[in-house]
Each structure stands twice: as C-alpha cells, then as structure tokens.
Amino acid sequence: MKELEQQFGLPLFQRLPHGMALTDAGRALLGHARSVAHSVARMQDDAQSFRDGDRGVVRIAACTSTVLQFLPADLLRCHAAWPDVKIDLQELNSPGVIQALGRGVADIGIYESTLGVLPLPSMPYHEDRLLLVVPAGHALARRREVRLADFIDHDVIGMSEGSAISSTLERVAAEAHRSIRMRIRVSSFASMMAMIDKGIGVGLMPEQVATSFSGNRRFRRVAIAEDWAVRRFVLCHQPPAALSSAAQAVIDVLACEFAERETSLKQ
C-alpha cells in the first residue's frame, strides 16, 4: 500500500487508531483497481477454459427484466448449439449494463433502448409491456386498464434510481407536467411485491414478471393503455475484432432467434 501511495504521490489510506480508511483519492481509484482485478480474473477463466478443451467464457451483462423474462430460454438455445461455451451472466440495471460495455468488462450487453445508443454494434432484442400491480383491495383493482393520469396520484413503489422503469415513469410524468409520488425505491421486483402486499403503494413491472410474482388473490394486474408501457431492448456487443469466437457464436444464436421471431410475427 505504501508503494501505491508513493507511485501516485497521494495518500490512499487514512491511518486510524483502530484500523485504516480510504481517503477520497483511495475511493476514486478503488473502481479502477476492481476493474483491473476483474480483467485478470477474465484472463484466468479464459485460459482455464481453453486448457480444459472448452470454447471459452462469454461475459453477458443484462438488465433484470431480460434476465427474468427472455434470457433463460435464449441461453438454453445457446447451450444446445454450443455446449462447450460458458456464460458469465451479470444481472445489472440498464445504466449498469451500458457502463459494463463501455468499460469493456462485458462482451455482450442487453438493456432498455430509451437509455441511448452506444457507438458499438447493436441489434433489436425482445420487447415487453409494463403492467400496474395493485393490492386486491386497492381502488384501481377492478379496472381493466389504466392510464398514467389514473394512478399518478397514488403512492408508487419505484425501482432503484437510474433503473429503466423509474426513468420511463419519471419521463412520462414530466411530459404530462406531473410529479410521481415515489416514496420508496427498491432494488428488486420481489421487494416491490412485498411493499405492494402491505398496501404501501402500487408498482410497475413487466407483464411476464408480474404474472410470476403476483399469481394469487392478494394482487391484481392492470393493463396500461398507453404506448409508453411498451419497452424495447437492445443487444449490444464489442466490435467484432475484440470478440472471441465463443462470443461471436453466442451473438449469432441470439441474432438468429430474433430473426426467426420477427419472421413468425410477420406471417
């Protein structure tokens, strides 16, 4: 540690009577150190895979909505096509996926499309639709569908700050010149359901996720009759020259699956 401080010419640790704490400079450099450690771990994993006769390890960073709804079936197809390829799946929110791609710690990233387009090769992935989930005794529980104006005055259980769902909700509320009563934010759909179950508020979640989490009489799923409730996801990846053959094989399987699904929908 002293050598690091001498190299950078900065105190990275504050010496305390009962231990040590990072300085502001130390906290700033910690992220870089973790990135280097992750890269070294990737090198070791890839080398081990080839020593064992595998095709390599593919790092995929994906937002939670796609991990819960689409990736299990899609990765099963990848495994069937390339059984020797290992997948290292990082479940993040959409901004986290974009950061992982930008830092080069993910070969492939899947995120919600409204958060922007990266200067990397990309293609459309799946799409989903948000629903409103409410307690069975809620005033909106008997509605077949709602619009933003119908629930914006109710307390909303939001996802963590920066998540695609929260960003979408805040954007459409701002366009309507309204404010969201987002008193509590949570980091998972399971936590959101726990809050809804206690009557703390209502929540937005993808249709397939809502069906799996709220399939009992204590909850009601209400359709949102507005276009903003439809979300589209993007599959983005590193430039071809930076991809291993294993990563390219996984991308090819996912791209083929998307093309087959689009053809089926047009027929």
Q: Express each pLDDT in 52-96 by its tens digit.
A: 444 688 999 999 999 999 999 999 999 999 998 999 999 999 999
Residue 158 pLDDT: 92
- The one-character DSSP state at 240 is G
Residue 16 pLDDT: 82
- Spatial separation of the C-alpha atoms in residues 102 and 59, rounded to whole Å: 13
**Domain-located, residue 173:** yes
62 vs 114, more confident: 62
Are 38 and 46 in contact by the 8 Å Cβ rule? The answer is no
**Domain-located, residue 149:** yes
Other CB atoms within a 10 A radius of the CB of residue 23 amount to 15
Residue 139 pLDDT: 93
**Domain-located, residue 105:** no
Are 124 and 240 in contact by the 8 Å Cβ rule? The answer is no
**Domain-located, residue 245:** no
How many helices and strands in the chain, by DSSP H and E?
10, 12
What's 179's domain CATH number?
A: 3.40.190.10
Position 48 confidence tier, pLDDT thresholds 50, 70, 90 = low
- Considering the chain, what is the average pLDDT of its residues? 87
Token pair 């053959």 in the structure block, residue: 245
Position 145 confidence tier, pLDDT thresholds 50, 70, 90 = very high
Residue 109 pLDDT: 96
1 vs 157, more confident: 157
- The one-character DSSP state at 228 is G
Span 178-202, mean pLDDT? 92
CA angle (111 as vertex; 106, 116 as ends), nearest 5: 105
- Spatial separation of the C-alpha atoms in residues 69 and 231, rounded to whole Å: 13
* pLDDT tens per residue, range 197-226: 999 999 999 999 998 876 677 899 999 999
- The one-character DSSP state at 154 is S
Residue 142 pLDDT: 93
| Residue 76 identity | L
- Spatial separation of the C-alpha atoms in residues 88 and 168, rounded to whole Å: 28
**Domain-located, residue 36:** yes
Number of folded domains that form the chain: 2
- Spatial separation of the C-alpha atoms in residues 100 and 35, rounded to whole Å: 10
Name the least confident of 129-133, 176-180, 220-224, 253-257.
Answer: 253-257
259 vs 232, more confident: 232
Backbone phi, then psi, for 9, in 5-degree steps?
70, 30
Residues 134, 47 within the same domain: no
| Residue 258 identity | F
**Domain-located, residue 186:** yes
Other CB atoms within a 10 A radius of the CB of residue 226 amount to 14
Tokens of 94: 């959409």
**Domain-located, residue 145:** yes
Decide which of 52, 70, 94 is a domain's last residue. 52
Task: Work out whether strand 19-22 and strand 13-16 pair parallel, antiparallel, or are unpaired.
Answer: antiparallel
Backbone phi, then psi, for 121, in 5-degree steps?
-60, 140
**Domain-located, residue 2:** yes
What's 45's domain CATH number?
A: 1.10.10.10
Distances (CA, A) of 195 to 26, 38, 54, 206, 216: 37, 35, 44, 17, 15
| Residue 207 identity | E
Token pair 């963590």 in the structure block, residue: 160
Expressed as residue numbers, the domain containing 205 is: 129-230
Are 215 and 239 in contact by the 8 Å Cβ rule? The answer is no
